[in-house]
Amino acid sequence: MVFTGRPNAGKSSIIRAITGLNVASGKRPGTTRRISEYSLSKGLTLVDMPGYGRLTGASRRTEDGVKDEVLEFLESNAGEIALAVHVLDISTFREVTRRLERKGIISVDVEMILLLRDLLDEGHLVAANKVDKADHDEREEALVELEALIGGEQILSLGYIFPVSARTGEGLGELKSAIHTRLVAKGFRTPFRL
Ligand SMILES: Nc1nc2c(ncn2[C@@H]2O[C@H](COP(=O)(O)OP(=O)(O)OP(=O)(O)O)[C@@H](O)[C@H]2O)c(=O)[nH]1
Ligand SMILES: [Mg+2]
């Protein structure tokens, strides 16, 4: 199982909150610099990815290196990835998407989600993190925009995008149980207490 997302989205924080693993998180984008693997149960490894996108104190070359490393990992291991959870910061999603759009660039989050869909088909979920930082309207509008960008209304109703906050714990129970259900369906045991 892998966790992907831009630097600072909250990947490591969510992993710590749902698994209890002692995974380092931090204020600066680029806290997780290496692909980090943790054993969850027999045959099941959890992979915390470095974020790709802008990193604090790193050169463009380092940023591109991280991106290549993440993509290479996903592509070469696609057959063994039981589940990918893409973590994004929903409180800044619209603003960041707009800024990139003006430069003619597709949102890194959207790009990544579409890539995961290509590689893994239904084997991926989206965690829309930091809902505590967005007011109700911002959050709803950002979720609608995200849905539209990744393809249609049926998506939320399928229980595919999970609004969560690693800080307050909101939504984490639902995310955890969705992860659990999907892994169990693929024949894995999980250590999650639901
Ligand atoms: N307000 C708020 N802050 C959060 C939430 N989740 C994470 N953070 C904070 O966001 C920062 C980044 O969290 P990390 O878990 O290190 O993010 P990451 O995606 O692993 O980042 P990289 O390792 O740099 O790719 C930390 O300061 C966290 O405390 C959340 O739900 N709400
Ligand atoms: Mg991290």
How high is the pLDDT of residue 5? 94
Chain centre to alpha carbon of residue 37? 16
List the single range of 43-47, 119-123, 189-193 with lowest mean pLDDT: 189-193
> Which is the closest atom of ligand 1 to the Cα of 26?
16
User: CA 81, 118, 66, 171 torsion: positive or negative?
Assistant: negative
Residue 155 pLDDT exceeds 70: no
C-alpha atoms less than 13 angstroms from C-alpha of 118 in its C-beta half-sphere: 9
10 Å CB burial of residue 91 (0-12, 13-18, 19+) is buried
Give percent of the chain above pLDDT 90: 66
* pLDDT tens, position by position, 36-90: 999 998 899 999 998 876 666 778 888 788 888 999 999 999 999 999 999 999 9
* Protein residue with least CA distance to atom 9, ligand 1: 10
What residues does 126 pair with on adjacent strands? Answer: 86, 161
Could you tell me whether strands 36-41 and 44-48 are parallel, antiparallel, or unpaired per DSSP bridges? antiparallel
**Is this model's pTM higher than 0.85 or not?**
yes
34 or 171, which is more confident?
171
CB within 6 Å of ligand 1 — which residues?
5, 7-13, 25-27, 29-32, 50-51, 129-130, 132-133, 165-167
> What would the two tokens of residue 107 be?
């949102």
CA distance 79 to 162: 24
